[in-house]
Amino acid sequence: MPLSPGDLAGCLLDVGAVRLQPLDPFTWASGLKSPIYCDNRQLMGFPQVRDQIVEALVAQSSALAPSLVAGAATAGVPWAAMVADRMKLPLAYVRPTPKNHGMGRQVEGPLAKGHRVVLIEDLISTGMSSLKCAEALRAEGAEVPAVLALFSYGLPQAQAAFTAAGIDIAVLSSFEVLSREAEARGIMDTAGSAALKAWRADTVAWSRAHGGA
């Protein structure tokens, strides 16, 4: 059966990939403080789930008719590699910033010029690192219609940034689905649920109130 958003959310909870720490929040690469952290790398250790995720990514990628698959470094790279292998397409990977030695490349692999590229991420938070990768591909002359990700927090600032860049987002599961699944399982207590709701209502204000950017 195809992997549903609820299935993936359940898998994330089952393998302990999602952590909730409202009293000791995580710090994202953007500097934002968050009561929730999702580590999709944990999923790579479970072959059956991994296979379902790749099948779902292949299905979404196929609808975009790409000629090249790119992975956003670092966590998007293994998923992109598996998708490219299934689809028998060239593979590249992209850093958020150019390499500071050697050839100084930001896009590694075949030249992206003239390709229609699907960019694969493991997770979208603010979306800034994903968009840096997409812009690097565009700078090489590629068309980037969409970024595919396993999971997204669904932050308004991320959606606004992608819309401004003219790039679609497609995800296999989301914060809303995960929250419902966690509540249904009784995983989150009252304090945890309240923290998540307050954070989701205004991530920047919540972050500042907890010492973040």
pLDDT band at 87 (very low <50, low <70, confident <90, very high): very high
Q: What confidence tens digit (pLDDT) does each residue in 117-163 have? A: 999 999 999 899 999 999 999 999 999 999 999 999 998 889 999 99
Instruction: Please give the distance of CA 20 from its chain centroid, rounded to a whole number.
Output: 18
Residue 10 has a pLDDT of 94
- Number of compact structural domains in the chain: 1
Q: Decide if pLDDT at 104 tops 80.
A: no
CATH of the domain at 184: 3.40.50.2020
- Which range (53-67, 90-104, 105-119) has the least confidence? 90-104
End-to-end distance of the chain based on CA atoms, in angstroms?
A: 42
Dihedral angle of Cα 105, 126, 28, 131, to the nearest 10 degrees:
0
- Which residues neighbour 29 within 8 Å (Cβ) at sequence distance 6 or greater? 125, 129
Predicted local confidence at residue 159, as pLDDT: 93
| Residue located via tokens 């549903």 | 4
Range of the domain at 72: 5-209
Q: For 170-190, what is the mean pLDDT?
A: 87
Structure tokens at 22: 């409202």
d(CA 87, CA 85): 5
Mean pLDDT (whole number) for 90-97:
94
Q: Give dist(CA 109, CA 96) in Å, integer.
A: 15
pLDDT of 20 higher than 90? no
- Coil, strand, or helix at residue 111? coil
Contact call for residues 99 and 105 (beta carbons, < 8 A): yes
Average pLDDT of the residues in 3-12: 94
pLDDT digits (tens, 9 = 90+) for 182-212: 888 887 777 777 888 889 889 999 999 999 9
Query: What local confidence, expressed as pLDDT, does residue 50 receive?
Result: 95
